[in-house]
Amino acid sequence: MYTIGIDLGGTNIVAAVVDSEYNIIAKAKTPTAMPRKPEEIFNDIAKISKQAMMNAGVTINDIQAIGLGTPGTVNKEGIIEYANNLGFDHIPAKDMLIERLGDVPVFIENDANCAALGEAYAGCGHGSKNFIAVTLGTGVGSGIILDGKIVSGVNNAGGECGHMVINVDGVPCTCGRRGCWEAYASATALINQTKAAMEEHPDSIMHELAMEEGKVSGRTAFDAMRRKDAAAIQVVEDYIKYVAAGITNLVNALQPEIVCVGGGICNEGETLLRPLRRYLESERYSVYSEVQTKLMKAELGNDAGVIGAAILNTVQ
């Protein structure tokens, strides 16, 4: 038997047929093409799900369950209560999927939670049941798995660790608070920090690198640091301090087996992870514990979401 995992994103919709050992048998993809009506989006979800089944050489009778990862908040009845970037307001996603694909068990979860589940079970967690995934992207996404289950809280809105304040009265966050972890540790934040340092240091090599790349990116400061640029070294040191602050906070509160870090910035690999581990080792409250949280790099990339969605049925 197989399951279908669907990752509904702001840019693309991906569907995958996944086997019981977390292997992706076949995938299909289509642009989300916003703005569109929810009905049209769900028509496309059904279309690419069928296409993925065809590519895998299976039919709906071979499908044990369908899992959907979506931005926003999903309630236990499978209704997407609210998803800002898709314009969703109380969309009966479960019913809309069953209507279009047949009467198969359907499970729907927040996309960051799906990605965390995917990494925990099929990625760097190798089946870990106490696992936090953090994605340093446009924002700071996160999902918490405890006792093998997604922590979604009393209202299915849990796991928003990017919106934990690490700097009271700090820089404004898109969520309305000031000083959120996301406002310091996302790729967007790093780019802003890089731009601010460039403005302060007109002679920094970062100007040259940004010119070559055509823009300031999450790589600009890291690349300039490797060329010993003093301003860039400071940007990277500060950025890593911010990332570490949030990770250490999560460790002190939850002491998971693994914290997994993903997102584009993670292409820096050990350049990022080594100093993060050093911060964690010196700052965690559990300095005397024999067992400690491991800090790891995400392994599944964009597939984490579809794989996590595909195994939602196993963690209910």
**Residue 277 contacts a second copy per CB under 8 A:** no
What type of residue sits at position 65? A
Q: Specify the residue, 175 or 196, whose C-beta has the smaller distance to a second copy.
A: 175
Give yes or no for a contact between 134 and 142, defined as CB atoms under 8 angstroms apart: yes
Q: Does residue 99 sit in helix, strand or coil?
A: helix
Report the nearest approach of a second copy to the CB of residue 234 (Å): 14
Stretch that binds a second copy, among 46-54, 160-168, 192-200, 306-314 (CB under 8 A): 160-168
**Residue 98 contacts a second copy per CB under 8 A:** no
**β-pair partners for 145:** 131, 150
**Residue 241 contacts a second copy per CB under 8 A:** yes
Q: Does residue 196 sit in helix, strand or coil?
A: helix
Among 87, 245, 273, 297, binds a second copy (CB under 8 A): 245
DSSP 8-state code for residue 177 = -
Among 110, 113, 152, 204, binds a second copy (CB under 8 A): 152
Binding mask 32-71 for a second copy (x = CB under 8 A): ----------------------------------------
Residue 239: CA count within 13 A, CB half-sphere: 32
Residue 219: CA count within 13 A, CB half-sphere: 13
Give CA–CA dist 51/61, Å, rounded: 15
Among 163, 195, 201, 277, binds a second copy (CB under 8 A): 163
Report the nearest approach of a second copy to the CB of residue 153 (Å): 2
Report the nearest approach of a second copy to the CB of residue 174 (Å): 10
Residue count, binding to a second copy (CB under 8 A): 53
Give yes or no for a contact between 89 and 130, defined as CB atoms under 8 angstroms apart: no
Q: Specify the residue, 138 or 249, whose C-beta has the smaller distance to a second copy.
A: 249
The side-by-side arrangement of strands in the sheet containing 106-110 is 24-31, 12-18, 2-8, 63-70, 106-110
The pair of three-digit structure tokens given for residue 189, joined into one six-digit string: 């934040």
Give CA–CA dist 295/272, Å, rounded: 11
**Residue 288 contacts a second copy per CB under 8 A:** yes
**Residue 257 contacts a second copy per CB under 8 A:** yes
DSSP 8-state code for residue 176 = S
Give yes or no for a contact between 131 and 260, defined as CB atoms under 8 angstroms apart: yes
Interacting residues with a second copy between 102 and 131 (CB under 8 A): 130
Among 286, 301, 302, 316, binds a second copy (CB under 8 A): 286
Contact residues: a second copy, CB under 8 A: 73, 81-82, 130, 142, 144, 146-147, 149, 151-161, 163-168, 175-177, 179, 184, 241-242, 245, 248-250, 252-257, 282-283, 285-286, 288-293
